[in-house]
Each structure stands twice: as structure tokens, then as C-alpha cells.
Structure 1
Amino acid sequence: MATASIVRCTKCAKNAGTITCEGCSAKFCRRCFDNHRQDLSKELDNIVYEHDMLKQELEKPNENGTHPLLKQIDNWRKESIDKINQLADRCRTDVVKLIDDNKNQLVDRFRKITNTIRDSRSDENYDDRHLKMWITQLKELKDELIKPSNVHVEVDKQQPSWIQKIIVREGSHQQEEVNDSKL
């Protein structure tokens, strides 16, 4: 006599597996099948919740500055400005020192002119040529005070740009990684 083999429930292994789930192909008893369906229903509820959250995000208008890519650009901008400010502060300090040194030299030259003018005045030893010379010397000192001839601010064209330029590209991250690995 042939005995019929009974397929047991995949979940509880106690009862006969009389119902087959089309999705996972597992055989369940009636009670376990109902529990399996409840589990599937809960998973579907979670999927619907995730769906609704994504739908809200997609329907939300773009707000300036909230997207991670926009934040990345803002961070680059801030870091670049910080670098510029640091360099500008160092250059200002250097210029102030050079201007002070230049001013000290101008003060020495001014004292010499002052002493010459006083001596010439007290001795009444001057003429038109002296007056023109002194006015020219004073004008030169004044010009040198306003715009020192030995101090210049210029762009160092020999140095590569120390602020890295950013670019925006369209494409997938995987594509960029492949392109980067070829470099």
C-alpha cells in the first residue's frame, strides 16, 4: 500500500501544509498562512508609508540651500573665502610693516630737509633755486608717503591657483568613479 506523504507546514512543522504561497512558494497550514498574510500586510503598510514619505519629498518645492549638493557648494564657497581672508590678513600685516618702515625713512629725510630749511632761513642763505628744490623735495616725500615706490601688491602669476575650482556635472556616481579610475 502506498502511503501518501504529508507535506508539513513550513513555519510550524506541526500541521499539514495545505496552502502554498505563490510569492515565496512555501507551504503553510491555515493558521500559519493567515499569520504569513498578516506579516505581508504589515510589510505592505511599511512600503506604503515609505512611498508616501517619498511622494511628499518629491512634491515639496525646492528650497534654497537645503539640498546636500547646494550645501556642498556653500561649504566650498566658505572655505575659499576663508582662505582668501587669511591671505589678505597676512598681506595687510606685511604692507603695514613695510609702510611703517618706509614712513620711518621718510621721517629721517623730512628732518634733514627741515634742518636745512631752518638753517638757511636763520642765515638768510637761500634763493629761488633753494625754494624750488625744497618744494620739490617736500612734494616727493608727500607722494612717497601716499604711494610708496618700494611697496607693490600684485598677483603672483607663477603660482597655480590655490583655490580649487568646482564644477557641476550630470551623470551617475558610478560613471564618475570609472572616469576617475582611468585618470
Structure 2
Amino acid sequence: MATGPKVQCTKCTKNAAIIACEGCSAKFCRQCFNGHRQDLSKELDNITYEHDMFKQQLEGPKADGPHRLLKQIDEWKKDSVNKINQLADQCRTDVVKLLDKNKEQLVHRFRKITNSVRKGRDDEDYDERDLIRWMSQLKELKDELIRPSNVRVEEDRQTSPWIQKIRISEGVLEQVKINEGKSWLRPAQLC
């Protein structure tokens, strides 16, 4: 019976290999094989530890607060509200300026009516038509004070939305490469 040369241990290269590992296909002497099994056992312990830690995260209370995606939505809301408040403040300032300007014009028109009424009374030169005209002019001024005809608030539909709308999308994982029985996954492109 002919025997071939002895295969050396892959790890220590001193002793003859007597056992092959099915997982990594390396050939070991008894001592190195025992060490290899201990290394595998330590890796399994690490995996078990990571498994248990992840399980605690899944089942445990939310100690670290809301999820980062919820925080992102809250930040968008805060930024949007700040933008709205800034624009509303600017619009209020503009309206106050326009109302003050409008009021100055109303005061000028009111003085003309006042002078006309006084002159009519002093001269006793008025009749029903004057009374109706003066009352109509006063009513017009009151209406103009309450609802100015030259000032209005309206939405600008010609410009792009000032606050960017957000949306929630769910990514789907797709298989892109199969290599030696292992699947490599990447997120699918979102439209």
C-alpha cells in the first residue's frame, strides 16, 4: 500500500493535518482544529450577543425617544411654521402700512364732507338731496374704513409652493447579485 506525502496543518504548518473543516475547507492538526472550533464558538457568542441586543431594542421601551424619521418630520413642521410666521408678520406690517395710508385718505375725504355739512348748516343752504348725499358719503367712508377696496389678502398662485410638501415613501429591497449562494441586497430606486 502506497501512501502519499502528509498534508500539513493550514494554521501551524508544523503538524500533519488530520481533520478538514467543512465550513472553510482548511485542514488542521488536532490542536489547531480545537483552537479553530474555539474561535468559531467565540464568533457564535458574538452573534448571540448582537442578536440579544437587537431583540431588546425591538421589544424594549423607546428609551432614546422618537424615531429619527419622526424627528425629521417634526423639524420640517417647525421650519414650515417658522416660514409661515415670518411671512404672516411681513404681511401684517404691509397691511398696517396700507391701512394707515388708506386712513389718511379717508380723513382727507371726511374733512371735505365736514366742511360741506358745516357750510350747508351755516348758510342754511341744504335740502333732502344734500342730506342723502352726505349720509351716503359718510356710509361710504365707514365701509371703506372697515373693508378697504384697495387692500386685499390673496394667495399667490403664480409662484411655486413656498413650503415644500414632504411625502413618505417605502423602499423595496431587490436582489441584485447572487454570489456563491449568498444574496446581496440593495434598496430599490425610488421615483
Q: Mark yes or no: TM-score above 0.5.
A: yes
Which string of whole-angstrom CA distances, capped at 9 and with x for unpartnered residues, describes residues 43-75 of structure 1? 111111111122223334789x82333333333
Could you say which residue in structure 2 is the equivalent of 1:137?
137
* 1:39-58 aligned within 5 A: 39-58=39-58
In 2, Cα distance between equivalents of 1:110 and 1:170: 64
Equivalent positions of 1:1-183 (< 5 A) are 4-60=4-60, 66-172=66-172, 174-175=187-188, 177=189, 180=191
Separation in structure 2 between the aligned mates of residue 25 and residue 141 of structure 1, nearest angstrom = 99
Once the two structures are superposed, residues 54-109 of structure 1 have per-residue CA deviations (whole angstroms, 9 ceiling, x without a partner) of 2223334789x823333333333333333333332332222222111111111211
Distance 2:79 2:170 in 1: 24
Between the two proteins, the alignment pairs up a number of residues equal to 176
Q: Which has the higher relative contact order, 1 or 2, with Cα contacts under 8 A spaced 6 or more apart?
A: 1
Letter in 2 for 1:28: F
Q: Which has the higher helix share?
A: 1
Q: Distance in 2 between matches of 1:172 and 1:54?
A: 22
5+ residue gaps, structure 1, are: none
TM-score, length-scaled by structure 1: 0.76
Identity %: 67
Q: When the two structures are superposed, what TM-score results if normalisation uses the length of structure 2? A: 0.73
Structure 2 residue ranges without an equivalent (≥5):
174-186
Q: For 1:124 and 1:39, locate their aligned partners in 2 and report how far apart those are by CA, in whole Å.
A: 118
Within 2, Cα distance between the matches of 1:168 and 1:28? 54
Deviates more, 1:86-95 or 1:121-130: 121-130
Distance, in Å, in 1 between the alignment partners of 2:69 and 2:91 is 33
Query: Which amino acid in 2 is paired with 1:143?
Result: D
